[in-house]
Structure 1
Amino acid sequence: MKKNIFIFIYICLGFSLFAVNEIDLDYEYSLEYFQKGIRAFHNTEYELAIMNFLKSLGYKENNHKARYFLGEAYRKAGYEENALFVWNSLLSIGYEDKSLKNKISYLYHKRGMLTDIYIDKDYILKEDIKGYYNDKTIPLFLKPSQITIDRNNHYYIASFLTGMVAEIDQNFKIVRNYTSPYPKIEKPFGVAVDKDGFVYISDFKNDVVLKMNKLNIIEKQIGFKGIGEGGLLGPKYLLLDDDENLYVSDSGNNRINKYKKDGEFLFSFGTEKDGDGDLKSPSGIFYDNGKIYVCDRDTNRVVVFDKSGNYLNYFGDQNLSEPYDITKDKLGRFLILCKDKLWAYEEDNSLWYIIDAIGDRLQRGTSIITDIEGNILLTDFNSGRLLALALERHRYSNLNVNIERVYSQKFKEVHFTMTIENDDGVNPTGINASNIVVYENGKIVPLIGTSFTEEKNSISDITIIYDKTKNMARVKDDIKITVDKWIKSMNKKTNVCLVSANEDNPIIENDFGSGRLSILDSFDEKSSSSYTDKGFAIKFGSYHMLNRFSKKSIILITDGGETGKDFEKFKIDDCINFANNNDIKIYVMSFGDSGFSEIYKYMAKKTGGDYYRVYKRSDLQDLFKKIENSKGREMVVSYKSRSTSRFGDEPISIYAEINYNGMKGIATSTYYPGR
């Protein structure tokens, strides 16, 4: 019996040894390093991720996922040429992936290696919205008059017959209605929104303009019924200029009234008798580059004034018939809305033509605007419609979408950050959970939402990089005064880190959470360098805050001069790519001008930051406020995972699909659950 048992054990051991010999160890090692690479990638350790993906490919060259994410790690680390090389090699061996092709095309386009052969100037009709459907539905608007937009790209439409102003989002969903029982708004015609979100409404019947807050409370009554200075008779269109002065098209007095936003009357213009600046029937008003453009309906002209009300010139009388409103599109053309036609005017080419995308739909075109994304929106008073037009090439172009990072530490709670851009590199506004579909391991998952996006935008991490050259020691007192003002003005959710750029490696002088006095004392450090590597300092400072859940910015304080090794270890283009691909804005505070100043201006512009020449920019002290009020490009998407991963060692794939205003985009990623 014992002999049989020993024989059985011997046979089993033989089978197990045979099975071990059958295991593909190269494949197992490749998977192990792939997992390490993915975990490093989503932990924002891109250099470590690159190393692990290269090791994974060293064991299994045909590990296509490792090669794909190697390209992603190169992109995030700022090395876009390397990313293109890796991804093109992946395509060359037959790897088929639509999102990969989009990534390659986008990077080529971004680097100026693909250009548009021509600019398509044609518009197509994107939306035709009726404000009123039947007796069983609440009207969105009736007899829509003026339309305007706010900084969030929400549309505001004055509804002449309902006594309200409707606010709708980019998906044409109602957000809220603005109305007031006392003083009652009876016939709202004009509408404007200031930078603080206050809504200005002209009441055509009561001859006043009302300033209203988000709670539908009237804050101010502007103007009064009358013909005297500041008086109004049938106020129509409203306009706010770059100083937020208010212009009112006073139809009954045939003039334009200008007020401060607090209601103080300044002056009227357009009343030059028997002159070209005399307005007969002022309608829509448009502001651009210091000039006020007024549609004078009865004379078929657009009359141009400066901000002081001085007449400059007019145009359009040979082509226009009853012009009601005017704006400019993103191609720089004037768009003039007449009663039943939409005209385009290219001023530089003296070229006039009709935009025929709306066909014969117009009965009485009343107001027109261009939104942030270049769409054209116009109202038709008689037919009660809102029409939206889009440039044809934008209507059907793909979106470039990237899943930048996956947070799975609290699996099965999953969050990922995502960037979305159109073919012009502009981030579409108004995208929310209703535009997003997410699949995990091929199965659709219900989204929780995108609310963490606002939380992320409310937290500002700012790394100040101090160029520690000998020249900078001379202006340290001015630097301390400016930084002191910044820190004293910052809100509770803003965090500051100070990094010094030196001859050798950058140094964290003060980490996030340091006190104001400690940071200021660091500028008194007497050591200085004859040259500094600003590029390496930017890379170092950026990596130091990448893993934090926040909106991120770099402020480089420099004398603007060239030291010879300014971008030796990390090139200027790599700095820009790194910042853009990780949603970091770079601001430059320069104490001098030199040939290098143009490089700093270029870097600031390309990353969405700004360049400040000290002693010449009065708004430098408000830089922290500007950063705090800005928004990052990343959206945070949250959902509950339904997938399983044994011991956290099985990868989970994400596929995200975006549908927005006819544009589409897809993105993929892979993650391992947090342990």
Structure 2
Amino acid sequence: MNSKVGCSSEPSGCIARISARHYGYRLALLRGLLVVTLLGFPVLRVPPQQIDMDALSAEEEFRWGVRAFQNARYNEAIMSFEQSLAHRPDVPIVREWLGRAYYYSGFYEPAIDVWETLIAEGYGHNRLANRIELIRASQGVGPETAPEDRYVVSAEINGRQADQVVFQRPTSVEPLANGSFMAASYGTHEIHVFDANGVVIQTLRGGLEGFNRPFDIARDRSGRVYVSEFGADRISVLDHAGRRLFSFGGRGIGEGSFLGPQYLTLDDEEFIYVSDWGNRRVSKFDREGGFVLSFGRPRAGFSGLSRPTGLVYLDGYVYVADAGNQAIFVFDTSGNYVRSIRELGLTRPESLSAYTGGRLLVANGSEIVLLDPERETVRRDFDLDQPPSKITSVQVDANGNIITADFDADKIMVLSPMSSLYAGLDVRIDRVNSDNHPEVLLEISVRDRSGRSQLGLGTPNFVITEDAGGILQGPEVIFAGHERSPVEAAVVVERHSSMAAYSNEIRRVTEDLLGTLGSNARSFVVGGEEAPGIVAARSESNSDKARAAAGGDYHESAAVDRALRLAVGSLIDSPAPRELVLLTDGAAKEDRFSSFGLQETLQYLHVNDVRFSVVYLESGIAVAELEYLVEETGGRSVYAFEAAGLAPFVDHMLARRTGRYVLRYVSAKDTEFGRRYIPLEIEVAHLRRTGRDETGYFAPLRF
């Protein structure tokens, strides 16, 4: 077991290591003075009785505490900062760092107490007050934007930029999981991919055949892209890289043919629905283009579609906008008419898309409407700088913004919640790696004030300043949590005596889980004994991990919180998405969180961006405490032997994207052989929102 894991679970075990480290540090300090002398720098000769040993010890402890913190050894950092303050209790920066170490250890209240005392003394008011406000407001993953919050324009992308036509007559936007989005340029027969800053990063033209009036875009879970071509009366299917695979449809009035296909949607089984303007119907196809059925013709109790436009699948039903009837019609997936939604001021409904809480975003002529289909009520909470001409698409992107396409005005608009523009971004510098100074690596996380990760940021969004000096422009982004990468996964096996009878099931489930994850995860196994430990490292085979998970000793104590903290301590070695899975029988146990407490465990998971999930070995079980952690961190709980297997559970793990970034830059600061504390600040700007954070670091000692 490495020292970091041991310190995360056994604070007392850190003391001996710290003492030994401090002895080595003092020896290194003397050697450093000798090196300075040999290099020709003057050495101040001070009589021994005039040396302030308290100041020297305080600085030594502070330096070690900062280095321990930057290596995610938070317990060691806390003890070093406390020892530094024992020598010099009046140093504000050490107290601020102590609060930071409490915070990252999941102990929010001690952190707030330290920071509020500093604020009362006139130190770091705005910075610390902002962090306290965010802690107080945090609720697990973060609440959804309140429905009454108004949206305002935060960015506009014009089709004509300078003397160049970038796009013309945009008909559709399709958000991507990494914060970027696709847009169909009807007028130039192209599809563009824009990054989160609105810059074109890829253009698709449909290969040798080309696109003919591309209208709408949809994607399935595998990354396939479906494009409706209004001019060619067909649907083209592209792979995830934009290469054409095949097309289906063709001009005609027969089943499976089109006369002006427009909008697309996919259901849970990935059947494709196409609104056919000329044939006044909706057609359903399988993912290979095989025709299944069509609907929308008149029948008893239903007068038929007139001008079908937008459509969306939601909760088992297909909603179809009809501009001719000024209504939205609801069908089941077999094409049976269910009901209509009328008389809500929908004069020209076009695009439909899913919003939170079972609601729909509707592009209604020159406005955006939020529709509650159950209550049949609408809200108009979208302020546009000027009335648009004709909105043909409205979608929610991965960052919680709303993207719209204005067909006649040749522009794409991004709208953001008004409260988020005023509140700004929540930016945290989590770790600084200066081991190879002057190269410095900065691990940061970026969220909005409700806790939603901000995805798709790049070099232009970051500005770094060291020691209040010159701005270091253009840090290199070497890791971005919005790009697909192997996840870090910890499997924790509860080792209460009630689990002893499940050794075969534990082995089978662990091997199945890790096998389904495959090369998409770096995993290890933690045994939840009285003294928890890593029983199978990342380097071991899945079969060895499964055997280790099923082995070990079982005890009457069920204090699983110690094992969870140990697992988190090892997960944070990497900036990759962090997943923690607990295997349990779900039996009633009162002491699961007796060592650290349920709320402190949640806070430790949350501040370190770890998602918690549960696999139950018995069906029909739901432990309230565990389900609370699952819900608040965005995880899932599942019965191990569901008919569908663990594949959907694993898919949820692998689909995760985070707002975590690692930036690399070259420092111009003199570290004074590793003894100088270098303050550091970062500012992040995106869509009229900014956020900043401050920290500092020591480079390694060099002699």
TM-score surpassing 0.5?
yes
Task: Report what 2:19 is aligned to.
Answer: none
The separation in 1 between residues aligned to 2:84 and 2:307, in whole angstroms, is 74
Q: CA RMSD in A?
A: 2.8
The separation in 2 between residues aligned to 1:109 and 1:423, in whole angstroms, is 9
Residue 96 (str. 1) matches residue 124 (str. 2): yes
Superposed, 1:172-321 pairs within 5 Å as: 172-273=198-299, 275-276=301-302, 278-317=304-343, 319-321=345-347
Task: Report what 2:504 is aligned to.
Answer: 477
Structure 1 residue matching 2:383: 3-state secondary structure: coil
Structure 1 residues 308 and 458, CA gap change in structure 2 (3 angstroms): same
Structure 1 residues 291 and 624, CA gap change in structure 2 (3 angstroms): closer
Report the AA paired with residue 674 of structure 1: P
How many pairs align? Answer: 657
Task: Report what 2:669 is aligned to.
Answer: 643
| Cα offset, 1:154, TM superposition | 2.2
1:342 to 362, 368, 373: 368
Report the AA paired with residue 168 of structure 1: F
Residue 152 (str. 1) matches residue 183 (str. 2): no
Structure 1 residues 532 and 270, CA gap change in structure 2 (3 angstroms): same
Larger radius of gyration: 1
Residue 140 (str. 1) matches residue 139 (str. 2): no
Structure 1 residue matching 2:673: 3-state secondary structure: helix
The separation in 2 between residues aligned to 1:489 and 1:594, in whole angstroms, is 23
1:513 to 539, 559, 575: 539
Contact between 2:676 and 2:698, CA under 8 Å: does it hold in 1?
yes
The separation in 2 between residues aligned to 1:454 and 1:118, in whole angstroms, is 26
Task: Report what 1:30 is aligned to.
Answer: 58
Structure 1 residues 256 and 668, CA gap change in structure 2 (3 angstroms): same
Residue 82 (str. 1) matches residue 110 (str. 2): yes
Task: Report what 1:670 is aligned to.
Answer: 696
| Cα offset, 1:594, TM superposition | 8.6
Task: Report what 2:8 is aligned to.
Answer: none
Contact between 1:335 and 1:345, CA under 8 Å: does it hold in 2?
yes
The separation in 2 between residues aligned to 1:325 and 1:369, in whole angstroms, is 9
Structure 1 residue matching 2:511: 3-state secondary structure: helix
* Structure number with higher relative contact order (C-alpha < 8 Å, ≥ 6 residues apart): 2
Q: Which runs of 5+ in 1 are unaligned?
A: 1-14
Structure 1 residues 455 and 25, CA gap change in structure 2 (3 angstroms): farther
| Cα offset, 1:258, TM superposition | 0.9
2:442 to 402, 416, 428: 416
Cα offsets for 1:376-423 (capped at 9, x unmatched)? 222222222222222211222221111111111111111111111212
Structure 1 residues 449 and 133, CA gap change in structure 2 (3 angstroms): closer
Cα offsets for 1:582-640 (capped at 9, x unmatched)? 22222211124798712111112222322122334734256455434533442111111
| Cα offset, 1:472, TM superposition | 1.7
Structure 1 residues 462 and 98, CA gap change in structure 2 (3 angstroms): same
The separation in 1 between residues aligned to 2:270 and 2:450, in whole angstroms, is 29
The separation in 2 between residues aligned to 1:521 and 1:128, in whole angstroms, is 56
| Cα offset, 1:21, TM superposition | 4.6
| Cα offset, 1:642, TM superposition | 0.8
Structure 2 residue matching 1:232: 3-state secondary structure: coil
Structure 1 residues 330 and 553, CA gap change in structure 2 (3 angstroms): closer
| Cα offset, 1:523, TM superposition | 4.6
Structure 1 residues 636 and 278, CA gap change in structure 2 (3 angstroms): same
The separation in 2 between residues aligned to 1:621 and 1:482, in whole angstroms, is 12
The separation in 1 between residues aligned to 2:368 and 2:59, in whole angstroms, is 61
Report the AA paired with residue 106 of structure 2: G
Contact between 1:296 and 1:302, CA under 8 Å: does it hold in 2?
yes
Structure 2 residue matching 1:299: 3-state secondary structure: coil
Q: Which runs of 5+ in 2 are unaligned?
A: 1-42
The separation in 2 between residues aligned to 1:456 and 1:360, in whole angstroms, is 35
Report the AA paired with residue 58 of structure 2: S
Question: Once the two structures are aligned, what percentage of the paired residues are identical?
Answer: 24
1:451 to 449, 473, 478: 478
Task: Report what 1:109 is aligned to.
Answer: 137
The separation in 1 between residues aligned to 2:412 and 2:590, in whole angstroms, is 59
Structure 1 residue matching 2:449: 3-state secondary structure: coil
TM-score by length of 2: 0.87
Structure 1 residue matching 2:423: 3-state secondary structure: coil
Task: Report what 1:532 is aligned to.
Answer: 558
Task: Report what 2:39 is aligned to.
Answer: none
Report the AA paired with residue 154 of structure 1: S
Contact between 1:39 and 1:672, CA under 8 Å: does it hold in 2?
yes
Residue 495 (str. 1) matches residue 556 (str. 2): no
The separation in 1 between residues aligned to 2:623 and 2:536, in whole angstroms, is 27
Structure 1 residue matching 2:480: 3-state secondary structure: helix
The separation in 2 between residues aligned to 1:98 and 1:272, in whole angstroms, is 64
| Cα offset, 1:218, TM superposition | 1.5
The separation in 2 between residues aligned to 1:197 and 1:326, in whole angstroms, is 21
Which stretch of the first structure deviates more once superposed, 85-94 or 206-215? 206-215
Contact between 2:172 and 2:393, CA under 8 Å: does it hold in 1?
yes
TM-score by length of 1: 0.91
Which stretch of the first structure deviates more once superposed, 224-233 or 465-474? 465-474
